[in-house]
Amino acid sequence: MTTALREAKYKYGQSFLKVYNGKFIKLTRMHCVRNAGIETDEETVRGVHDQKLEASLSRSKSRIFELAICNEWDYFFTGTLDPRKYDRTDLAKYHKDFTQFLRDQNKKYGCKIKFLVVPELHADGQSWHLHGFLSGLPKDQLHQFRYGVDKMSTALAVKVLNGDPVYNWTAYAQKFGFCDLEPIKNAEAASKYVQKYICKDLARSVSELGAQMYYRSRGLKEAQSIKSGVSSSQLAPTYESEYASVTWLPYSEKLLQELLESFT
């Protein structure tokens, strides 16, 4: 690759400033940013698949956190499929029927259910279930699990015995299979937690199926891009790699203005 082409292909030392629903400020410093539309023969033969996989994982994790933290959620949701009712291996049908089910619930109860979910494979490597966030459910359709009365896993029983409210969504359970919903106690912790389901195994599995690494409802709030360019900010990064550094900060108008003034 010639020096001229390399310089045309990349921008160096670029920073990006975003605000997450008035809760957080994120300053990302990229050591090198690729300009769109410029490729070389070298790239077409060297590790393209692995590079795309890593990039897809990174984008999906970032996007999941953004959508999770920028929106108000009522419950952390886990939904499974009963093999007597559904083919647990058919993710495409599960996704299609789940979203249609939510639309039907909205119409039936006059509610507006929002969702952000990540598919995950069971230990058998074939059966799917969902984890993620829900809001706007009709509360009279939820049944609180009771120890000694309702069937539940050992892990769920421990939570119930500890006095934690955990709910069954009866309409989902009747159509699909077992589920549980736990009220969101710490939005930031829950938003970070769901990222753990975005992994290489998921990326490879959904890629083979032509599916996605997460599903979301329309109209969710997103982070606001405030500024991009070269920043002279010397704030210590929250974490960094050989490619970039990221600084997360609690939101304040004063801090945002200081960061804006650091851009040239």
**Number of other residues whose CB lies within 10 A of the CB of residue 250:** 8
* CB 66, CB 214: distance < 8 Å: no
pTM to 2 decimal places: 0.80
Q: What mean pLDDT do residues 250-255 have? A: 95
pLDDT score of 205 more than 70: no
pLDDT tens readout for residues 26-64: 999 887 656 554 343 433 333 444 555 566 667 778 888
pLDDT tens readout for residues 3-25: 443 444 567 788 999 999 999 99
Measured distance CA(37)–CA(17) in Å, rounded: 24
The 3-state secondary structure of the chain, one letter per residue: CCHHHHHHHEEEEEEEEEEECCCEEEEEEEEEEECCCCCCHHHHHCCHHHHHHHHHHHHHHHHHHHHHHCCCCCEEEEECCCCCCCCCCCHHHHHHHHHHHHHHHHHHHCCCCEEEEEEEECCCCCCEEEEEEEECCCHHHEEECCCCCCCCCHHHHHHHHCCCCCEEEHHHHHHCCCEEEEECCCHHHHHHHHHHHCCHHHHHHHHHHCCCCCEECCCCCCCEEEEEECECCCCCCCEECCCEEEEEEECCHHHHHHHHHCEC
**Residue listed under structure tokens 């984890």:** 131
Q: How confident is the model at residue 106 (pLDDT cuts 50, 70, 90)?
A: very high
Which stretch of 37-41, 96-100, 130-134 has the lowest confidence by average pLDDT? Answer: 37-41
* CB 69, CB 188: distance < 8 Å: yes
**Number of other residues whose CB lies within 10 A of the CB of residue 143:** 12
Tokens of 62: 């970032």
pLDDT tens readout for residues 217-241: 999 999 999 999 999 999 999 988 7
* CB 132, CB 194: distance < 8 Å: yes
Tokens of 164: 């934690």
**Residue listed under structure tokens 């939820």:** 142
**Number of other residues whose CB lies within 10 A of the CB of residue 127:** 18
Q: 40 vs 262, which has greater pLDDT? A: 262
Question: What letter represents residue 67's amino acid?
Answer: L
pLDDT tens readout for residues 148-199: 899 888 989 999 999 999 999 999 999 999 999 999 999 999 998 888 777 6
